[in-house]
Amino acid sequence: GPFVIDVRGSMVNVGQDPDLAANRGLGPSQLPAWGLGLDVGGHVYVFSWRVVTFGVGASALFTGPSRTPGENDPAAGGPTVTTRFTAFSPQLSFNFGDGDGWSYLSGGIGTSRLSVFIEQETEPPQRRARTLNYGGGARWFARPGLAFSFDVRLYAISPLDQTDTEPGSPRMTRVAVSVGVSIK
């Protein structure tokens, strides 16, 4: 078909960056390092040239792990800290293979929001940052229209200056490893 839709579970590195933690009055060990997330996206294949099929599409990633220091060591206690990461990006993809399965390289420039906060009723405001996302993966079709999908993606997040109401963030790169299904 001329399109594919992906739904995958992800392991996302949200990091324990010292600068990110310090801007929020926290220590790096108080932040979660990894979290489970959801990666959804779709691509439309517009044309082929030799062995490459070119596609355009978009992807979105969502994760929100929490960490309570001292869960395993009560003497080290502290508040529960949540790191919520969302990213959205249009993408251009280069696909290699046939209808039974293919590998791809893709990337795009979009935005992301990385919020780090101590557990509370509402999430504090945090601006979106320009984010370059790039990576690759593969799809293997077990039967017509349904595939096993694997993707590794990097998110290069631009720095944000601190404002009167929002903390700043350093330049960071986050990694997501995703596994799921593709439908075409």
Q: How much of the chain, in percent, has pLDDT values that exceed 70?
A: 95
Output phi, psi for 18, to 5 deg: -60, -40
| Across 102-126, average pLDDT | 88
The pTM assigned to this predicted structure is: 0.90
Q: Inform me whether the pLDDT recorded for 129 exceeds 90.
A: yes
Q: What is the pLDDT of residue 167?
A: 87
CA 44 to chain centre: 21
Under the banding of pLDDT at 50, 70 and 90, the label for residue 110 is: very high
Output phi, psi for 19, to 5 deg: -70, -40
